[in-house]
Amino acid sequence: MICSRKRDNVAEATADLKKTFGANIEGVTCHVGDDAQRKNLVKQTLKQFGHIDTLCSFVGVNPAFGTMMDCTKPQLAKLFELNVSASFAMTQLVVPEMLKRDHQSSILFMGSLVGFNVVDVSV
């Protein structure tokens, strides 16, 4: 299951992954900063697949561009609310489901502008 807050992104990514990998993949529109939408994402994932093996949390919101000295307290609060707190809340939702299964599960956190602009780091 993949998600994005934008429906068009979900549809495009789902179609691309199915075409490229023949993957059994579905998508849900979800703003991870919204508790009800996070819960719906988990509910839809369990409905579709019956379990959760992996959580990949790729949240990279930066409401303040410039130096840290230019960042206001409200901008910093928004940054933490989405990049840290939303990922933490999603983890709290999926870990109980992961623990129901008798095997290892994985959680991956990544937050960066690299999610929008891929950087070639090959040598």
pTM of this prediction? 0.82
Structural domains of the chain sorted by starting position, each given as residue range(s) with its CATH number in brackets: 2-112 (3.40.50.720)
Q: What is the mean pLDDT of residues 88-107?
A: 92
* pLDDT tier at 123, thresholds 50, 70, 90: very low
Quick check: 15 and 69 in contact, CB under 8 A?
A: no
Q: How far apart are CA 29 and CA 99, in angstroms?
A: 25
List Cα–Cα distances, 104 to 53, 98, 100, in angstroms: 8, 8, 11
What amino acid is encoded at 84 in this protein? Answer: V
pLDDT band, residue 116 (cuts 50/70/90): low
CA angle 78, 84, 89 (to 5 degrees): 110
Q: Do residues 38 and 44 make contact, with C-beta atoms less than 8 angstroms apart?
A: no
pLDDT at residue 62, rounded to an integer: 75
CA dist., res. 81 & res. 44, Å (int): 24
Angle at the Cα of 36 from the Cα atoms of 32 and 39, rounded to 5 degrees: 80
pLDDT-wise least confident of 10-19, 63-72, 108-117: 108-117
pLDDT band at 119 (very low <50, low <70, confident <90, very high): low
Give 47-83 pLDDT, tens digit per residue: 999 999 999 988 777 777 777 788 889 988 888 888 8
User: Does residue 122 register a pLDDT over 60?
Assistant: no
The mean per-residue pLDDT over the stretch 81-105 comes to: 91
- The more confidently predicted of residues 39 and 68 is 39
